[in-house]
Amino acid sequence: MVNEYAIDGSYHITPGSGNHYSDEFRGAYGDYFLMSGSDFNVKYGLPNGADVRIKNGQVGYYVKSTGWSGFEVYDKYGDITQMMSLTLVNTFVEVGQNGGKVDPYNFYFFGQDREEEAYNFMLNQQKLWKKELMAYGVRDENGKKGVLVVPWFENGEDYSHPYVDKYGGVTNYTNPKQDIYYDVLFEIHTHPGFIYRPSVEDFEIAKKYLQMNISHFILGDHAYMKTEVYKTRSEQEIINNYYLLNGEVSLF
């Protein structure tokens, strides 16, 4: 029994449909036919509820990701009044291309009690991909906090694609059945292969965050560092500063 329907040139087959494919399919394609949907998603590290389809002979699923259509608008004090606007794009992500484990198109959420695990995840992935990884310390509408690692497929060695909207929030689009909106409390990103010190761009970003009460951190291999930017009351002067946070630190 095969159920299928066409969406955007992709089609959908109920996994575990009982067809006896054994030798003619390999890897993700064969597994897709043979395994139940939840087993498949676990094996390939897919988000819960990922709607796996076949398109052009490839197993994959659609993710919503953000694209830039933003620009910055400054008022007379040099403060940002509009930071960015985001557009949604649908991307078909093939399964199994990255060793079947971790997918740079996904969001990964770690509850506050798994904060350290989140940072270790980021450091490990940065080594594999030789790119910055970025996460936000977030709080959902029920007050639950955690670290949301955002997709890094567009990141570079010294650049992270931003996901904060102009209201200081971020949307997790990974589960196609339910977007989750969070308030952002802080941002943290890695610096692969170089020093912990903030770059010029980091200070600029921290300056923008200042107005949304978002703290800015850099995650080094053995230390956290806070980028601190603040204004004096009498003048519209921006002070750049940074300091190391030593030991086991929770950023919440």
Contact stretch for Zn ion (CB under 5 A) within 15-23, 57-65, 83-91, 200-208 = 200-208
Task: Find out whether 169 and 158 touch, Cβ atoms under 8 Å.
Answer: no
What's the min distance (Å) between Cβ of 202 and Zn ion?
4
From residue 100, alpha-carbon distances to 31, 120, 215 in Å are: 12, 19, 34
Task: Find out whether 55 and 92 touch, Cβ atoms under 8 Å.
Answer: yes
Contact stretch for Zn ion (CB under 5 A) within 62-70, 86-94, 137-145, 199-207 = 199-207
Task: Find out whether 53 and 32 touch, Cβ atoms under 8 Å.
Answer: no
What's the min distance (Å) between Cβ of 195 and Zn ion?
10
Question: Six-digit token pair at 15?
Answer: 């996994």
Q: Which is nearer to Zn ion, 31 or 202 (CB)?
A: 202
What's the min distance (Å) between Cβ of 22 and Zn ion?
49
Question: How many residues touch Zn ion (CB under 5 A)?
Answer: 1
From residue 195, alpha-carbon distances to 64, 116, 128, 220, 223 in Å are: 33, 21, 18, 8, 11
Residues 6+ apart with CB under 8 A from 203: 227, 229, 240
Q: Using CB atoms, what's the residue nearest to Zn ion?
A: 202
Q: Which is nearer to Zn ion, 29 or 196 (CB)?
A: 196
Cβ neighbour number for residue 159 with a 10 Å cutoff = 14
Contact stretch for Zn ion (CB under 5 A) within 52-60, 106-114, 194-202, 237-245 = 194-202
Contact stretch for Zn ion (CB under 5 A) within 17-25, 86-94, 114-122, 197-205 = 197-205
What's the min distance (Å) between Cβ of 157 and Zn ion?
10
Q: Which is nearer to Zn ion, 96 or 198 (CB)?
A: 198
Q: Which of 187, 190, 220 is nearest to 126 (CA)?
A: 190
- List 31, 115, 165, 202, residue binding Zn ion (CB under 5 A): 202
Q: Which is nearer to Zn ion, 62 or 209 (CB)?
A: 209
Q: Which is nearer to Zn ion, 165 or 202 (CB)?
A: 202
Burial of 123 (0-12, 13-18, 19+ CB in 10 A): middle
- The span from the CA of 133 to the CA of 156, in Å, is 9
Q: Which is nearer to Zn ion, 31 or 132 (CB)?
A: 132
What's the min distance (Å) between Cβ of 134 and Zn ion?
9
Q: Which is nearer to Zn ion, 183 or 202 (CB)?
A: 202
What's the min distance (Å) between Cβ of 227 and Zn ion?
8
- The span from the CA of 236 to the CA of 175, in Å, is 43
Strand partners for 241: 228
What's the min distance (Å) between Cβ of 77 and Zn ion?
25
Q: Could you list the residues that contact Zn ion (CB under 5 A)?
A: 202
